[in-house]
Amino acid sequence: MTAFRRYGLALLVAAAISFVAIPAAKAEVGVTDDKILFGSFQDMSGPAAYLGKMCSLILNTWKQHVNEDLGGIHGRKIDTVIEDNKYDPVLTKGAFTKLVDQHKVFALTAVYGSTPCQAILEDIDKVKIPVFTTAATSQTMFDPPHRYLFHYANSNRDGSIVLVDFIINDLKAKDAKFGICYQDDEYGKDGVAGLELAAKKYGFKFAQAGYKRGEKNLNPQAMKLKAAGVTHCLFVGFAPVYAAFLAEANKMGWKPIFFGDYVTVDPRTFMAGDLPNGHYHCFDLGLRSEGVPGWKKMEEIFTKHNAKEALEWPLAPVMWTPLMMLTKALQDCGKDLTREKLVDTLQNIKDFDTGGLGKIQFGPDLRKGSHVYRVLKCDAEKKLFVPVTDWREPSLVWGKR
Amino acid sequence: MAVTRFCVRNYKQDLRIFPSPSAKVALAILAVLLLTLPWWAGKYLVFIACVSGVSIIGALGLSILTGMTGLISLGHAAFMGLGAYTAAILSAKAGWPMIACLPAGAVMAAFTGAVVGIPTLRLKGLYLVVTTLAFQFITQHVIYHWESLTQSDKGIKLAEPMILGLNLGTYDRFYFVILILAVVTALLTKNLAMSRTGRALVAVRDRDIAAEIIGIHLAKYKILAFVVSSFIAGLAGALYAYLIGLIAPDHFTFNQSVLYIAMIIVGGMGTVLGTILGAIFMVLLPEAINALSGPIATAYPALAPRIGGISVVVYGLVIILFLILEPQGLFGIWIRIKRYFKTWPYTY
Amino acid sequence: MGFEILLQLVVTGLAWGSVYALIALGFVLIFKATEIFNFAQPELMMLGAYLAFALITTLRLPFIAAFFAALVLMIVVAALLEMLIVRPMVGEPVLAVIMVTLGLANVIRGLTGLIWGYEELQFPKPFSSDPFVVFGAVINQAEVFTILATAVLLVVFFLFFKYSTAGLSMRATAEDTTTAFLMGINVKRVFTASWAIASVVATVAGIMLATFTYLEPIMSHAGLKALPAMILGGMDSIPGAIIGGLIIGVAENLAGFYLESYLGAGINEIAAYVIVLIVMMVRPYGLFGTKQIERV
């Protein structure tokens, strides 16, 4: 009830402000009588070009879905403009300036990349432009929270804690020797930090081996973890590298139980044949193979708009769910759309129904959207990932939220 | 005829930094345009101008080492990184003002330049190239892993650039800082090229043993070239750090080093004007491709997923065709245009 | 245990080193004949691997057939590139030529992305993934074959340059282009041949690398490791390139295992460069490179 009242109050205040301060004719930046303009930067030709391709496809499908299937939002059509940032911080800064000052977009959506997003962190605060959402994994994206920046992605720190909880409480592993192989950057080190927290809680020591992004020869890392006698090995990195790591471990006859992070929940993990079979993964999204309503709806929409390719990507909901939530928020905002109102609306949406795609929840001081996880088991024969636990929160809470 | 007389210059004029009267007129117009840029250009264009300015400074530094002295370096971005990190650390952790951080970054890079320069004295050609490449990768590694100092890929956030209590933290203000420093660097480089030292450097480039025989102290001039070049690179790096506001190790990679090499080659080796043109060209080329590809992707959504690949191909093709047609670079084109007007109306 | 670990590390290091060695060999072959540093060499390697992949998956050729077909295709591609793009640049400043190869690298990378996408692709594995066991060290079959292939190529090149007319004319051209030309050697053909041979070596390297891991457009970055290998051995030495590659491969594997805890992840990546720095201080022309005697 209080939430409802606060929401109503915020609406009232926002409406009052917009009524008093802004003449009716002058609308918010990027919002015209018949159009709302959203911007995004995507890596179209750099190291994350695969992500860029998928995300622009999803973004485009969202535009078509809203405009054609829903008939727009309060009489306005959605338009999007995408700048290529090549995953490069300077180009991102340029792309941001171009989107804000030249295209005059209303808000940014569906962006990712730690270094690119960090480069514009300050500008977002200065311009006061909503960014909904970024999938950049860096902790600085939501801790401390920035009013205009919303983060929705699996946190590897949470992931490591969830996995250790699972190993100790569900698998009831005796004399487990923990180890972690991680991509040596912000993204991978987050996983190590989670393991450190869990190690402190449960009182164990662990072995670690990092590799540089782009490295292909994981022989020294696997050797090191094998020499340390690791029996439960976490892996934080991309699916093809995970496959290479499994092959390397197999080659040297090292047979621990592996625990992949959320991006290893990917068809490319099966590049290692039946090696990933029976090993575990941590994931925060619903699975297509479960046939949840959210995925059913995605299948319908993406098939209709010739974007079936995106359905092969298990991580697609990480971009799609926020876009659905954004659609709802835009509808809730009513005709007088402003940036401030959108941010307030977004942070006050409670229990958004994703149709089983995974929880997404923000709050007035909460900019981390992802909270609950499941542990999946890999079935290499059917090329599937099967949940073996219910949705659960990590047993440790860290950082300012 | 008047045009002809306007453009031709005599020997005395040749000795000046800006030889012909037409150069002066052109420069005056350019100066007015540049000085008023923030008022008539959009914020985005000003940002691009800032990036170009920093690139010009960086490229001028490299042109002293590679263009003038003939020492090819693939470690230029590492020197810029040293300058940037020195400035950022002093700004963020020691609270130094910008006016002190900029020279500090430059001096740090220059010092490292001397240290790197000494052991590379015996190296030539590609051996030197790969050794500077080694310096590039080792510097990157150290920046990345010296986490207590550099905060690794969390990056360092710089304090707002303040001069005399004036906050220069917006692009249209910081633009002037970059403009002034770019002009000063260009003038000094031009001056250096025309001095005894500059001629000594060129002699080293053309035939270092011959240069030594006519009394040029090889070691001294090679190290000097390294020091001056990395000083300028450090300055460019520090400026870059203030422009972006937050720097991370990913900003100073091998690709950046290659980009700077590309700037001076495309511009035309060893000339100040060529270097400036080359830097602007290489900054604008991806922008131009982006500007074209954006509308194309919007108009033909089916093409959108491929547009990235296409733009990489176009980028490569432009460079190839450009150099096959004009191996002297942009400076060669400039000379040709000038010759056209000089001989006008008797152009062949 | 300690010895087994060392042996294992060395063998895997040798296998990866063979790949670097082959890429470095490509650099050296072109450099020796034409004095051009071909920045597109890693991209040629990638293109070769992708072509073999396409032949296997779309034309359903058996691995061996696809392997040789890819070699032939790459010879054609490289010869065309040399004639259309590099030859017009003969006599222009060396740096401009290098820049052209950089542009070429971009074009190849972009086209590969356009045709095959940026997604990692699994390369059909020609060798069984069941390892051999030798003295307690477990060795991947693909690694053994890579090492053998490199050895065979080395012997073939040695014989080619020592005894065949084509090899001799290539050496003569490398020694002195003008004199070779005056002696009646078809210098143009030698240039084209050097590109063709370099592309063959690159393709072998690319296919080896792809069987170790997977295919992706940025696999060309692994080609960068060939630079220290080449310099270490000496830029104009063919055995130097091979030995340089092997040294670098083994050194980075050892560094990754023994030094990672102290010097941070990625130490294996820069181990090569540290070695190069040290060797350059002692021998400025590499381990096997010829010292240039300059006359004014």
**CATH at residue B152:** 1.10.3470
Residues B247 and B322 in one domain: yes
In a domain, B348, yes or no: no
The predicted-structure confidence for C135-174, as pLDDT tens digits, reads as follows: 767 777 888 888 888 889 888 888 888 898 888 888 888 7
Regarding an ipTM greater than 0.90, the answer is no
pLDDT for res C183: 86
pLDDT for res A23: 42
Q: Where are the domains of chain C?
A: 15-220
Interface contact B306, partner C, CB < 8 A: yes
In a domain, A401, yes or no: no
Beta strand residue intervals within chain B, DSSP E: 156-157, 162-163, 166-167, 246-247
Distance of CA B116 to the CA centre of its chain: 20
pLDDT for res C28: 87
Compute the average pLDDT of residues A48-71.
Answer: 90
In a domain, B347, yes or no: no
The predicted-structure confidence for C26-45, as pLDDT tens digits, reads as follows: 988 888 888 788 889 999 99
Give, to the nearest 10 degrees, the angle between helix A339-348 and helix A316-333: 120
A10: its two tokens? 């915020």
DSSP state of A31: B
3-state SS class at B85? helix
Three-point CA angle B72, B76, B77, nearest 5°:
150
pLDDT for res A388: 94
Residues B47 and B116 in one domain: yes
pLDDT for res A228: 92
pLDDT for res A16: 47
Residues A121 and A255 in one domain: no
In a domain, A399, yes or no: no
Interface contact A122, partner B, CB < 8 A: yes
Residues A73 and A194 in one domain: no
Q: Which residues of B touch A185 (CB under 8 A)?
A: 153
Task: Determine the residue among A98, A117, A211, A308 to mutate to test chain B binding: the one whose Cβ has the most chain B Cβ atoms within 10 Å.
Answer: A98
Residues B290 and B324 in one domain: yes
Closest CA to A55 of A46, A64, A42, A65: A42
* Percentage of residues of chain A with pLDDT beyond 70: 93
More confident residue, B2 or C81: C81
Instruction: Provide the domain count of chain B.
Output: 2
Q: Residue B328 above 90 pLDDT? A: no
Compute the average pLDDT of residues B277-305.
Answer: 80
Residues B5 and B143 in one domain: no
DSSP state of A131: E
Q: Please answer yes or no on whether C131 and A253 come within 8 Å at the CB atom.
A: yes
Closest CA to A204 of A234, A227, A248: A234
Residues B35 and B74 in one domain: no
The enclosing H or E element of A132 equals: strand A131-134
Q: Residue A19 above 50 pLDDT? A: no
Q: Residue C78 above 50 pLDDT? A: yes
Domain residues for B27?
1-11+19-40
C36 vs C44: CA distance, rounded Å? 15
Compute the average pLDDT of residues B102-123.
Answer: 91
Which residue from A47, A50, A224 is facing C119, i.e. has the nearest CB?
A50
In a domain, A189, yes or no: yes
In a domain, A362, yes or no: no
Interface contact B1, partner C, CB < 8 A: no
DSSP state of A80: E
Q: Which residues of B touch C95 (CB under 8 A)?
A: 66, 72, 261, 265, 269
The predicted-structure confidence for B41-94, as pLDDT tens digits, reads as follows: 888 899 999 999 999 999 999 999 998 998 889 899 999 999 999 999 999 999
**What is the pLDDT confidence band of residue A26, given thresholds at 50, 70 and 90?**
low
The predicted-structure confidence for A234-278, as pLDDT tens digits, reads as follows: 999 989 899 999 988 988 889 999 999 999 999 989 988 889 999
In a domain, A147, yes or no: yes
Which residue from C120, C138, C213 is facing A253, i.e. has the nearest CB?
C138
Q: Residue C83 above 60 pLDDT? A: yes
Which residue from B209, B265, B315 is facing C99, i.e. has the nearest CB?
B265
Interface contact B265, partner C, CB < 8 A: yes
**What is the pLDDT confidence band of residue B3, given thresholds at 50, 70 and 90?**
very low
Which residue from B44, B51, B307 is facing A44, i.e. has the nearest CB?
B307
Average pLDDT score, chain C = 86
In a domain, B107, yes or no: yes
Domain residues for A8?
2-154+290-348
Q: Calculate the dihedral angle through the C-alpha atoms of B112, B117, B119, B124, rounding to the nearest 10 degrees.
A: 140
| Touching subunits for chain B (3+ Cβ pairs under 8 A) | A, C
Q: Residue C101 above 80 pLDDT? A: yes
Compute the average pLDDT of residues C180-187.
Answer: 86
- Round the CA-based radius of gyration of chain C to a whole number and report it: 19
Q: Please answer yes or no on whether B312 and C110 come within 8 Å at the CB atom.
A: yes
Compute the average pLDDT of residues B291-297.
Answer: 76
Integer CA distances (angstroms), B276 to A193, B65, B67, B186, C96, in order: 46, 15, 13, 8, 17
Q: Which residues of C touch B332 (CB under 8 A)?
A: none
Instruction: Provide the domain count of chain A.
Output: 2
In a domain, A125, yes or no: yes
pLDDT for res B305: 67
In a domain, B181, yes or no: yes
Which residue from C16, C117, C118 is facing A217, i.e. has the nearest CB?
C16
Q: Which residues of B touch C294 (CB under 8 A)?
A: 209
Q: Which residues of A touch C219 (CB under 8 A)?
A: 216
In a domain, B157, yes or no: yes
Compute the average pLDDT of residues A162-191.
Answer: 91
| Touching subunits for chain C (3+ Cβ pairs under 8 A) | A, B
Q: Please answer yes or no on whether A45 and B294 come within 8 Å at the CB atom.
A: no
In a domain, A127, yes or no: yes
Residues A234 and A383 in one domain: yes
Interface contact C184, partner A, CB < 8 A: no
Q: Residue A233 above 90 pLDDT? A: yes
Which residue from A219, A223, A251 is facing C131, i.e. has the nearest CB?
A251
For A140, name the nearest residue in chain B, comparing CA atoms only: B154
CATH number of domain containing A168: 3.40.50.2300
C292: its two tokens? 């240039």
In a domain, A241, yes or no: yes
Buried b (16+ CB within 10 A) or exposed e, C188-200: eebbbbbbbbbbb
Task: Determine the residue among C87, C102, C281 to mutate to test chain B binding: the one whose Cβ has the most chain B Cβ atoms within 10 Å.
Answer: C102
Compute the average pLDDT of residues A49-53.
Answer: 84
Residues A238 and A382 in one domain: yes
